[in-house]
Structure 1
Amino acid sequence: MTSLAIFEPLYFSDRLYIINPHGDVGIATLWTPVRQVVDFLARYGIDLDPASSRIAVLGTLYGDGLPQLIRNLLWNPQIHHILILGQNLSGSAEELANLLTLGVEQAERLNQPRFRIRGTTRCLDTAFDPALLTDQVRPVSLGKLSAPETARGLQIFFATLPPPELPRRDRVQVPLPEYRPVYFPSEPRAHTIVRRKPLDAWEEVVTRVLRFGVPVVAGEGKPRLELQNLKVIVTEPVADAEADLRAVGFLLADFQAYQTAILSDIRPEGVDYTYGHRLRRYWGLDLLEAAATRLKANPGSRGGFLTVWDPATDLVADATVGTPCLTTLFFRVFQEVLTLTATFRVHNVMSAWLRNLYGLMALQAEVGRVAGGLPVGAITVISHAIAIDPDTPERLDLARQIAAAKISDGEIDRATGKRTLREDPNGYFIFTVDQAAEGIVAVHKTRDGETLTQYRGRTAMDVERQIVHDGAISDIGHALYVGRQLAILEERVKREKTKTC
């Protein structure tokens, strides 16, 4: 039998409160500070002498620390009892108690195998053997410190502890696994991208789908990494430099040929459909010309809505018959330029998305020309199901290279490599300290420098709440910057206040 072990934490040694390293009781204080619990124990006469106490260690357990707690228990087999008490704000009490009594079941999260603690939704890695803990360590759950029954339960717990016993097994060391999910968590139906140029937009699409795409099986039985309803706004839809396209495997000449083809109403023999044919001949009407004529007569019209999808034939088409991926187009003069919103029922990121965007650029330019020379503006692409095929190594390698090359969210000048801050369309802020009022001032301005409003508060949180209320920030990078500035100014206010006291 193994000799009596001394408590040695593998994780969080700086956060644990050790009383008697030879003890056999661990206390999880949940969300209650350890110092409070120690005072509570002392108030009810619990032995805290390092030479005689049964308590080896105390530590908080908010929830995220459970994998580390498990490793510490595996390395310290002399801990036979776990007392759980304190504020239980995240369900961590039930998770720990159920792990030690009910055990785990096999589960899956982010397409990877996991242990799920029985009776909870909590998932854990599978690198450790749960049998070494379940029914081997006895948990006792009490309530928060202010509850009368907690004090009674505490005294009963220590009064009825069985005599100390030697460890039943040797130490077991299980490193924490490096977490490499197939995809990262997000709301997969809510991604929005805003970029100036087509290639910039496509590279961000690649990065988003590769990182956040959910593993699915497509209708043809093939695996995909997919996002739903991805919305991409390209604010300056003009052709990219030929060298930049070539660097990622595209040819400008191919895109230009596609732009010519998409405007043609001819459907070659043996081809199930073409976008040009659907838009210019299929319905017995040239839809592009009709939309342009309508907008020329009434620039404020919201009737420039065209459909490519024909439910009467496409919904019932045999699986061997091709059906359009592009489904609708909406042309609208907005802020004095011609905008285009296109929806696609399905999109292949690596082979089709950028090519389709160049096709949309040609359609937009044609409608603008026929409508009397309308200047073109942003193109918005909504992809109901957009995916990367993980079983195409060459495409996947390119996608990974593109994602790995992203070092910031700023604008990049591809000719010089220079990066600049991406401007938030909601405006920017100028920050100052109001010495007299002992507070922070954030002046919200438009891109043109017009003052919109002033936000004032004594703390960063005060100003933050006002900014959030007004929706004054739309860019995550801008939000992080504003947060840093507010924190700096709050510290400055505190220092100035200290000087005057």
Structure 2
Amino acid sequence: MTATGKATQFEYKALHKPNQLIYGLGQTAVITGWTVKQAIAKHLQPEDYAVIGQLYSPTRGINLLIRNLLFNPHVRFLVVLNATREDNNAGAGECLLDFFRNGFKEGVCDTGKSSWVIRSPIPGYIDLEVEASDLEHLRHSVDCKEVKSIVEAVSLVKSYAQLEALSPWGSRLEFPMSIVEPSVLPGPRYGHRIEGKTIAETWVKIIHRIKTTGTIRPTGYDGQWQELIDLMAIVTDEPPKFYFPEPNYLPVDPPFLEEYTSQILDDAPYREGLKYTYGQRLRSWFKDDQIDQVIKKLIGEIDAASAVMNLWDVKDHEKGGSPCLNHIWLRVVDNELSLTATFRSNDMFAAWPANAMGLRALQQHIRDEIAQRSEYDLKMGPLITISQSAHIYDDTWDNAERLIANQYAAIFNQRSYYDPSGNFLIEVDGKEIFVTHTTPGSGEVIKSYRGKKPLSLLREICATSPAIQPEHTGYLGIELQKASNCIKSGKTYIQDQ
């Protein structure tokens, strides 16, 4: 207490993510996990707490949180709310608790960089630039407690606020932090198409495209992201039980996926402090079960183009916290069920693989329900996602670069030479090049081209069939030039030789 009888007031200053925190004047930091931080703050006075913030990821968030605590040694209590299924899935709160309970050791993070590794079954890292002795001092100077509900969190914070103020455990500590500066090649900003057989393959291609040509811009959430606008990803052949590479380089594993899938398929009751789930928006938010609606719609009209599910509520404009997934469209063509999902904003590194797998599970559920309720036995068609803002946050740029270095070349070298635009047969007829365009499956002749100049022929072909794959276009240019050279030299031209 001060001489005036008023409680000592402290000022919390954040070095990292300052705009994502709620600031107070006390000595207790509150970590709310996936629970909305305002759900705790509204029950407290600023004098009760030092800071309130959310923690989503152990690999992305704990390092910055620890750095902020080291810079604010007046914080003597830490309350970690570990209350939701999302908290259990992500494991960030548990990993943070393990830091204070079990400590850390030297090792490498998931990008291969030397780091302090938290002694926890959940991967969590702290930069090696932070001194080990200071981390140990922090661990033994801050009283860290886990709580399981908002009521319990508020009660504990208020009880700490009644205690006499403690002296800071040390002086402010700030450590250097390396910054990744990506190199960006020129490329289109709007409208991109990426296709792969599996979600894993498609994801690596997505990350490569964004890291190669994405625009770097501020996020509004303290930091930067690299972004492409309107990216369409098509997954053609994801197996029913999902493909997980070995070793698994995806940011999702089967146990996490099982829990995440339920958040898309199942309804959820309202709980204070928790955002909607996608399942809640689909099942009950608008008073009707939209998943059941589209199943009935397609059974009644199998070729309908209006099997639509909507997750956007016009009230989201005023309330904030609007869903990233906004629109889902089902379509049956040639006895094949496809699903197209539109995201207004999509974290392509950390979230897209789980998003895609959850949507694929929804697609499978709808296919199976249609089969059980009707005579239609549909095949599983492609999964298509349209990410209007497809981005990678700066705190995962290291991970993205490592993923590309380790996986992209192998995936690219497994590419298929199939082109849905068809095939082209090239021959020499006298002094002219003759090109026959055929369908990709049956080989039916569609069109023919004739001329002497390779570039003119290539331009004509591409103008007529603008969807030809880029590699195929390059191949045609090479073969047309070879045919032209053979005409000039009098040699016999044979395609692909």
| Bucket of the pairwise TM-score, normalised by the shorter protein | 0.5 to 0.7
The reply on whether 1:429 has 2:433 as its aligned counterpart is no
2:97 aligns with none
2:365 aligns with 366
The reply on whether 1:381 has 2:385 as its aligned counterpart is yes
Give the distance between the partners of 1:423 and 1:249, measured in 2 at CA.
Answer: 30
> Gaps spanning 5+ residues in structure 1: where?
1-179, 413-418
Give the distance between the partners of 1:482 and 1:475, measured in 2 at CA.
Answer: 11
What pairs up with 1:399-414 in 2 under 5 angstroms? 399-405=400-406
| TM-score, length-scaled by structure 2 | 0.58
Give the distance between the partners of 1:282 and 1:181, measured in 2 at CA.
Answer: 41
What pairs up with 1:339-358 in 2 under 5 angstroms? 339-358=338-357
What pairs up with 1:178-327 in 2 under 5 angstroms? 182-238=183-239, 239-244=241-246, 246-267=248-269, 269-270=271-272, 271-312=274-315, 314-318=316-320, 322-327=321-326
Give the distance between the partners of 2:473 and 2:205, measured in 1 at CA.
Answer: 19
2:433 aligns with 440
Per-residue deviation, 1:182: 3.2
Q: In structure 2, give the amino acid aligned to 1:295.
A: L
Give the distance between the partners of 2:446 and 2:410, measured in 1 at CA.
Answer: 26
Q: In structure 1, give the amino acid aligned to 2:228.
A: L
Give the distance between the partners of 1:253 and 1:428, measured in 2 at CA.
Answer: 44
Give the distance between the partners of 1:208 and 1:352, measured in 2 at CA.
Answer: 16
Give the distance between the partners of 2:456 and 2:219, measured in 1 at CA.
Answer: 48
Give the distance between the partners of 1:410 and 1:447, measured in 2 at CA.
Answer: 23
- Deviation by residue 1:400-459 (Cα, 9 ceiling, x = unmatched): 1232346669766xxxxxx3533211112122211x3x1112221222222222221112
Per-residue deviation, 1:361: 0.4
Give the distance between the partners of 1:407 and 1:198, measured in 2 at CA.
Answer: 14
Q: Retained in 2: the 8 A contact 1:473–1:479?
A: no
CA change 1:302–1:190 in 2 (3 A) is same
Match of 2:472 among 473, 478, 486: 478
SS at match of 2:351: helix
Q: Retained in 1: the 8 A contact 2:304–2:331?
A: yes
SS at match of 1:207: helix
* Larger CA deviation: 474-483 vs 457-466: 457-466
Q: Retained in 1: the 8 A contact 2:423–2:438?
A: yes
Per-residue deviation, 1:323: 2.4
CA change 1:429–1:408 in 2 (3 A) is farther
Per-residue deviation, 1:214: 0.7
Per-residue deviation, 1:240: 4.2
2:445 aligns with 451
Q: In structure 1, give the amino acid aligned to 2:248.
A: R
- Deviation by residue 1:120-142 (Cα, 9 ceiling, x = unmatched): xxxxxxxxxxxxxxxxxxxxxxx
Give the distance between the partners of 1:497 and 1:458, measured in 2 at CA.
Answer: 15
Aligned length: 304
Q: In structure 2, give the amino acid aligned to 1:233.
A: I
Q: In structure 2, give the amino acid aligned to 1:323.
A: S
Per-residue deviation, 1:497: 8.3
Give the distance between the partners of 2:250 and 2:280, measured in 1 at CA.
Answer: 30
CA change 1:234–1:386 in 2 (3 A) is same
Give the distance between the partners of 2:339 and 2:408, measured in 1 at CA.
Answer: 31
Q: In structure 1, give the amino acid aligned to 2:199.
A: P
* Larger CA deviation: 229-238 vs 275-284: 229-238
Per-residue deviation, 1:302: 1.0
| TM-score, length-scaled by structure 1 | 0.57
Q: Retained in 2: the 8 A contact 1:427–1:473?
A: no
Per-residue deviation, 1:466: 2.1
- Deviation by residue 1:158-194 (Cα, 9 ceiling, x = unmatched): xxxxxxxxxxxxxxxxxxxxxx973222121121112
1:44 aligns with none
> RCO greater where, 1 or 2, for CA within 8 Å and sep 6 or more?
2
SS at match of 2:190: coil
Per-residue deviation, 1:460: 0.7
Per-residue deviation, 1:473: 4.7
Q: Retained in 2: the 8 A contact 1:197–1:236?
A: yes
Give the distance between the partners of 1:212 and 1:458, measured in 2 at CA.
Answer: 37
SS at match of 1:247: coil
CA RMSD of the aligned region, Å? 2.3
Per-residue deviation, 1:292: 0.8
1:396 aligns with 397
What pairs up with 1:322-333 in 2 under 5 angstroms? 322-333=321-332
CA change 1:363–1:249 in 2 (3 A) is closer
Per-residue deviation, 1:285: 0.8
Give the distance between the partners of 2:276 and 2:182, measured in 1 at CA.
Answer: 39
Q: Retained in 2: the 8 A contact 1:267–1:274?
A: no
